[in-house]
Each structure stands twice: as structure tokens, then as C-alpha cells.
Amino acid sequence: MSRIFSGVQPSGNLHLGNYLGAIRNFVGLQDDYECIYCAVDMHAITVWQEPEQLRKNIREVASAYLAAGVDPKKSIIFAQSSVHAHAELAWIFNCVARIGWLNRMTQFKEKAGKNRENASLGLYAYPSLMAADILTYKATHVPVGEDQKQHLELTRDIAQKFNNDYETDLFPLVEPIIMGEATRVMSLRDGSKKMSKSDPSDYSRIVLTDGKDDIARKLKKARTDADPLPEKVEGLEERPEAANLVGIYAALAGMTKAEVLQEYSGAQFSTFKPALTDLAVEKFGPVGEEMKRLMADPGYVDSVLKDGAVRAAEIANPIVREVKETVGFLLP
Ligand code: TYM
């Protein structure tokens, strides 16, 4: 059986990259798969989070899922910390994963920065918890943006080593689902950096709750070069900012980059940016509005999360029991 699992960190500033690279894709998958979508709050605290803000951010992630169109009856929406199987399996995986594997993780290197000695142990072990998130449901497919590819390879390595060490076929080897024209949305201020929640500049990203004026202001200020748009996709090579805006347009419009260029080849950014703004407001605006409405109703969002946690635990607990038995723990 095929099962989908994915997660988003509740660390605030949910942005266009999170939406186009991941959240939007969650919606269509509901028709063909059993889907489990999580607010990964235990991952969020690998860097300091203010507790009251964290609670809001967990509801924000759940609201984003709902506003994008995830149906809480069909799919499971829940917070990671409310299903204890994640933490239990993560510990077992900490004993399977090798330090050398984790040393190669680029996200750790980026997030820890120069002062690696001062990073939390949790930040280092982050990918092992991510493997636990997925495998505690024996999920087979994981929709994510391109930046998570390396973590999913590590998940496969952990599953494979566990299966080898214990001579079992308990865990499946997960497949990433990286789809659409915006699998890596770049910063609006610097086409060489990915759009991220933690960039100090608000102008680097469009957040889900941005209104029309914010979107217009940020796109107007978005860095570009001086040339008109090319005729062919190859003409976007070496033009990271232009490629980024064309990719965003394509993803929002449900077109390919080539189709966007057919329509806009030769156009200056003074024409293309307002067109992109209108499109973003049309496609993205209603999601932000719905999200704000949901965030003003925490009672409803909490009830969705509570129901989701019960259903998630029903799937996860027997699997963790099977893992514990395989490892040699005594089962009460
Ligand atoms: P997070 O919270 O950083 O991002 C959530 C999702 O958004 C995607 N994404 C992007 N896609 C395109 N362009 C961008 N600039 C961009 N920035 C982020 C991410 O690829 C991700 O799909 N480790 C994960 C959370 C996680 C998880 C999991 C995901 C924890 N456990 C299990 C899948 C399965 C993360 O940090 O996502």
C-alpha cells in the first residue's frame, strides 16, 4: 500500500517556497493516497522558539494545510509532539544512523553556520527524527521541495541499515515526490539563495498571509537584471533572478517555464512584474485570507489537530511496537 507523509516546521514566516514546493502539492495527492501531514514542532525547537509563538506557529501550519485544501476528514493533520512514536523511533534511529552520514548533511552545515560547537544536539540529529516521522507510518512517498532530497536519501539509508542489521524487511525505501516548476524557490533579493523562513530580510520572501499591497511591494523590489525575458528556457541560464520569477509564474499559473516565455519573450520586467503580481494575488491571496480566518478560530484548528493525533497514533503505535520487538526490547 502507498502512504504519503510530509511535514512543515512551525517556525513562522511560511512562504511561497513552502507553498509551491510542498503544501500545494499535498492537496492533489489526497485522491490517490492515504495522506498524513504534520506540523513538525519537535524539529522546530532544534533552534530556539519562543513558547507562546511556537503554539501560534503550530496552528499556522495546520491552517496553511487546511487553507490550501487539505481535507481533514480524508487526510490526517496533526502535531508531531502529540504522537510519542516519533520520539521513540528517533532514538532507535540515532543508534542506526552513523555520525559520518550526519556530517555530510548540508542543511546542518548551513543552519549551524560557523559556530558549529554551539549548535544543539537536536539540530545535528534532525535528519534521524525526520526518518522516524516517515517510517513510523511506513510511508512510501514524501512530497517535498528539492532542499529535502538529501534528508530523504538518509531516510533510505537508515531504513536499509535497519533492515540489514535486523534481517527484516520492516521498513520500505521511501521515494521523494518533488513536483512542479517551483521545487526550489529562490530569495527575491538574491537569486543564489533559497527563499527561507529565517532570512533577516522580509523582502526576500512572500509569506502566505501577505496581502495584495505586500505582494506588489515585494515583487516590485525583487532583484532582476536589465535584459528582457528570453525566448527559450536556455536563455534563463546564468540569470538566476529572472529564472526564479519565471518559475514562480509558471507554478502559479500551472504552466511550464517554456509556455510562460512563449507569452512573455521580449517583455521587460516592468511588464512582467505587474503580471506576476496580479497572478500571485489571484492564486495566493485567497489561501492567505482563509489562513487568517482559520488562525482566528484556534478552537477549530485544535480540534482538527486533536482528531489527527488520535488517528496518527493508531497507525504509528503498532509499527513502533513491531520495531521494538525486532530490536529485542521486552514488550509490556
Ligand atoms: P521546512 O519547514 O523547511 O519546509 C517545508 C517544505 O517546504 C519546502 N521548501 C521549499 N520548496 C521550494 N522552495 C523553497 N525555497 C523552499 N523552502 C522550503 C521544503 O522542501 C519542505 O518540503 N525537514 C523538513 C520538515 C520535515 C519533513 C519531515 C518533511 C520534518 N519531517 C518528514 C517531510 C517528511 C523541513 O525543514 O521543512
pLDDT tens, 103-139?
999 999 999 998 899 999 999 999 999 999 999 999 9
Q: What count of other Cβ atoms lies within 10 Å of the Cβ of residue 181?
A: 21
Judge whether 3-183+298-327 and 202-293 match in fold: no
pLDDT (0 to 100) of residue 161: 98
Q: Is the pTM of this model over 0.85?
A: yes
pLDDT (0 to 100) of residue 332: 86
**Residue with CA nearest ligand 1 atom 37:** 8
Say if domain 3-183+298-327 classifies as CATH 3.40.50.620: yes
Q: Is 189 within 8 Å of 223 (Cβ atoms)?
A: yes
Place of cell 548540508: 106
Q: With left for phi above 0 and alpha for psi between -120 and 50, is residue 221 left, alpha or beta?
A: alpha
Cα 18–Cα 310–Cα 4 angle in degrees, nearest 5: 40
What are 246-274's pLDDT values in tens digits?
999 999 999 999 999 999 999 999 999 99
Which residues, in sequence order, are bridge partners of residue 8?
A: 39
Closest CA to 35 of 81, 82, 84, 72: 72
DSSP-based three-state secondary structure for 175? strand
Stretches where the chain sits below pLDDT 50 are none
Tell me the C-alpha distance between 208 and 99, whole Å.
Answer: 37
Distance of CA 149 from the midpoint of ligand 1 (Å): 10
Say if domain 202-293 classifies as CATH 3.50.50.60: no
Catalytic residue (one of 138, 194, 257, 273): 194
DSSP-based three-state secondary structure for 186? strand
Distance of CA 215 from the midpoint of ligand 1 (Å): 22
Q: With left for phi above 0 and alpha for psi between -120 and 50, is residue 74 left, alpha or beta?
A: alpha
Distance of CA 19 from the midpoint of ligand 1 (Å): 10
Tell me the C-alpha distance between 310 and 315, whole Å.
Answer: 9
**Residue with CA nearest ligand 1 atom 7:** 18
Distance of CA 112 from the midpoint of ligand 1 (Å): 17
Catalytic residue (one of 149, 161, 197, 324): 197
| Protein residues with CB under 6 Å of any ligand 1 atom | 5-9, 17-18, 21-22, 40, 43, 130, 133-134, 142, 144-145, 147-148, 151, 183-185, 194-195
Residue 331 has which C-alpha cell? Answer: 514488550
**Residue with CA nearest ligand 1 atom 33:** 6
Domain ranges of the chain: 3-183+298-327, 202-293
pLDDT (0 to 100) of residue 1: 67
**Is 324 annotated in the active site?**
no
Tell me the C-alpha distance between 83 and 224, whole Å.
Answer: 45
